């Protein structure tokens, strides 16, 4: 069915005003109960307070904003149309060019992220924020396996993050395990939780899957809050040991018979050493994740994930074992989430169920979807954006989450496929004999 395109007639100024007036009217109706009126505590009882000045400002802003937006959209559309008519390149060529640009940006970003702590070696805030971005990048890449590649919508990803964080916290505080010993064990534990969750719900379709995973995330959180003997309840677990640099601690004074990092390298002690070390640690973990996932995509299992995302019934008809494919996606995604959790616990030194709420899952999912599902660079871009939006909003801190929610809606409406929505095929059909061997491998 071919789409019918109607030519848009240019709007007259009167139409624009009517359109904006209509929006302002809706804004007035929506604004009256929440902005125009509010209840305040007056001597133990509630009293009503009116804010009609604010309401008038809101309605005026809605009117002006709609006028500007409408005009901007029309303007952009005309320019895009003119450009498309003028340009002679094909869509495929443009996509190829975009892909090359993304690759170049990727290498530049890698260079910048390696150089960042050297440039900002005395700026604690920048390094800290960059570390947070990288944690989200890693989580995004982990969830990308489940959502972006295998097409399984997971709204409870934070559960695996929590499993990783709590298993490191418990192993280190109760049994004295080190970071490097606990890392693989916690990852394996998170992966087995992934299989545990994945197994019973494999038969479910997309949206049911979403809601069950959401429920699973909440169950884990409720258990962490209420099972006080095990997890410390709402107080969480504190004084989790920090990772060391091959046995060298980042402390001012060495422990009995040990050496500190600063002492070993003959440096003056600085609290920044640990932050920079943590930054590089998560950078290495994230890059390993990236290489791991990129490699997996080229293996049979990775191709099977993408096939499953495109058409499950066709996969079954081809004789693929969908159970194993889904489970492997769940397990690997969960394992990567678990690694990120271990790092999170080691970095914070303190964890509580507060850090593992549904909002966190929503943010990670938003990173994957906003970035363009399945796109590794898109995840980086979206993670940077979503961490930095609240950070820039810190000056007017009560508006951060408001901006965050609005940004999620706006980016989706603007680019429903995500920021980097172009999808490069993992396997190309070639005329040479290589294609035959490729197909062999894809099974």
Partner 1 sequence: MAYALQQLINGLTLGAMYGLIAIGYTMVYGIIGMINFAHGDIFMVSAFIAITAFTILAAADVTSIPLALTFVLIVSIFFTSAYGWAVERTAYRPLRGSTRLAPLISAIGMSIFLQNTVQLTQGARVKPIPPVLEGGIVLWDNPTFTVQIGWSQLLIIVTTVILMTGFTWMITQTPFGRQQRACEQDRTMASLLGVNVDRTISYTFMLGAALAAVAGVMVTVYYGVVDFFIGFLAGIKAFTAAVLGGIGSLPGAMLGGLLIGLIESFWAAYLWAEYKDVATFSILCLVLMLRPSGLLGRPEVEKV
Site residues, partner 1 (CB under 8 A): 26, 29-30, 32-35, 37-41, 45-48, 147, 153, 200-201, 203-208, 210-212, 214-216, 218-219, 222-223, 225-226, 313-314, 358-359, 362, 365-366, 369-370, 373, 398-399, 401-402, 404-409, 412-413, 416-417
- Residue number with CB closer to partner 1 (137 or 147): 147
- Residue number with CB closer to partner 1 (110 or 204): 204
Alpha helices in 353-399 (DSSP H): 358-370, 376-392
- Residue number with CB closer to partner 1 (39 or 93): 39
Which residues, in sequence order, are CB contacts of 309 under 8 Å at separation 6+? 149, 150, 151
For the bound state, the minimum distance from the C-beta of residue 59 to partner 1, rounded and expressed in Å, comes to: 14
For the bound state, the minimum distance from the C-beta of residue 92 to partner 1, rounded and expressed in Å, comes to: 21
Partners of 39 in the beta sheet? 48
Please check whether residue 393 is in contact with residue 431, taking contact to mean a CB–CB distance below 8 angstroms. no
- Residue number with CB closer to partner 1 (67 or 345): 67
- Residue number with CB closer to partner 1 (195 or 267): 195
Give CA–CA dist 151/312, Å, rounded.
Answer: 10
Closest CA to 364 of 214, 238, 216, 222: 214
Which residues, in sequence order, are CB contacts of 271 under 8 Å at separation 6+? 124
For the bound state, the minimum distance from the C-beta of residue 246 to partner 1, rounded and expressed in Å, comes to: 42
If you ran DSSP here, which 8-state letter would residue 249 be given? Answer: B
Please check whether residue 163 is in contact with residue 343, taking contact to mean a CB–CB distance below 8 angstroms. no
Give CA–CA dist 157/422, Å, rounded.
Answer: 25
- Residue number with CB closer to partner 1 (208 or 350): 208
For the bound state, the minimum distance from the C-beta of residue 38 to partner 1, rounded and expressed in Å, comes to: 5
For the bound state, the minimum distance from the C-beta of residue 333 to partner 1, rounded and expressed in Å, comes to: 16
For the bound state, the minimum distance from the C-beta of residue 134 to partner 1, rounded and expressed in Å, comes to: 22
For the bound state, the minimum distance from the C-beta of residue 417 to partner 1, rounded and expressed in Å, comes to: 7
* Residue 52 C-beta-side C-alpha neighbours within 13 Å: 0
For the bound state, the minimum distance from the C-beta of residue 291 to partner 1, rounded and expressed in Å, comes to: 26
Q: What is the dihedral of CA 361, 367, 368, 373, to 10 degrees?
A: 150
Q: How far is Cα of residue 275 from the mean position of the Cα atoms in its chain?
A: 22
- Residue number with CB closer to partner 1 (29 or 431): 29
- Residue number with CB closer to partner 1 (66 or 274): 66
Q: How many residues can be counted in the chain?
A: 443
Give CA–CA dist 163/191, Å, rounded.
Answer: 9
Which residues, in sequence order, are CB contacts of 147 under 8 Å at separation 6+? 153, 154, 365, 368, 369, 373
Closest CA to 377 of 92, 144, 117: 144
């Amino acid at each position: 069915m071919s789409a019918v395109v109607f030519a848009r007639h240019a709007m007259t100024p009167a139409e624009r005003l009517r359109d904006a007036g209509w929006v302002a009217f809706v804004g007035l109706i929506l604004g009256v109960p929440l902005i125009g009126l509010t209840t305040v505590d007056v001597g133990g009882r509630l009293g009503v307070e009116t804010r009609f000045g604010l309401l008038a400002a809101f309605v005026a802003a809605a009117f002006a904003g709609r006028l500007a937006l409408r005009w901007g959209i029309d303007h952009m559309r005309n320019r895009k149309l003119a450009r498309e008519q003028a340009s002679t390149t094909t869509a495929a060529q443009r996509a190829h060019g975009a892909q090359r640009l993304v690759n170049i940006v990727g290498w530049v970003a890698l260079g910048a992220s390696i150089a960042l702590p050297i440039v900002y070696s005395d700026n604690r805030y920048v390094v800290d924020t960059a570390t947070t971005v990288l944690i989200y990048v890693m989580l995004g890449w982990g969830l990308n396996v489940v959502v972006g590649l295998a097409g399984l919508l997971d709204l409870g990803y934070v559960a695996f993050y929590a499993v990783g964080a709590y298993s490191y916290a418990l192993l280190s505080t109760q049994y004295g395990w080190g970071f490097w010993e606990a890392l693989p064990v916690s990852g394996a534990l998170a992966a087995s939780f992934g299989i545990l969750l994945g197994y019973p719900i494999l038969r479910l379709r997309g949206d049911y899957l979403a809601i069950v995973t959401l429920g699973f995330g909440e169950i884990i959180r409720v258990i962490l809050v209420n099972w006080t003997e095990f997890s410390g309840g709402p107080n969480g677990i504190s004084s989790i040991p920090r990772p060391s640099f091959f046995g060298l601690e980042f402390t001012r004074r060495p422990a009995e018979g040990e050496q500190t990092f600063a002492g070993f390298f003959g440096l003056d002690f600085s609290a920044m050493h640990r932050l920079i070390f943590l930054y590089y640690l998560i950078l290495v973990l994230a890059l390993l994740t990236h290489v791991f996932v990129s490699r997996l995509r080229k293996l049979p299992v990775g191709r099977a994930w993408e096939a499953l995302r495109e058409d499950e019934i066709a996969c079954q008809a081809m004789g693929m074992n969908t159970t194993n494919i889904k489970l492997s996606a769940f397990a690997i995604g969960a394992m990567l989430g678990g690694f990120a959790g271990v790092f999170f616990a080691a970095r914070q030194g303190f964890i509580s169920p507060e850090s593992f709420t549904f909002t966190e899952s929503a943010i990670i999912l938003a990173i994957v979807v906003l970035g363009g599902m399945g796109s590794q660079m898109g995840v980086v871009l979206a993670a940077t954006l979503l961490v930095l939006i609240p950070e820039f909003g810190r000056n007017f801190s009560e508006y951060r989450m408001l901006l965050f929610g609005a940004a999620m809606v706006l980016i989706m409406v603007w680019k429903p496929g995500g920021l980097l929505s172009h999808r490069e095929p993992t396997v190309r059909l070639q005329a040479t004999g290589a294609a035959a061997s490729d197909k062999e491998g894809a099974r």
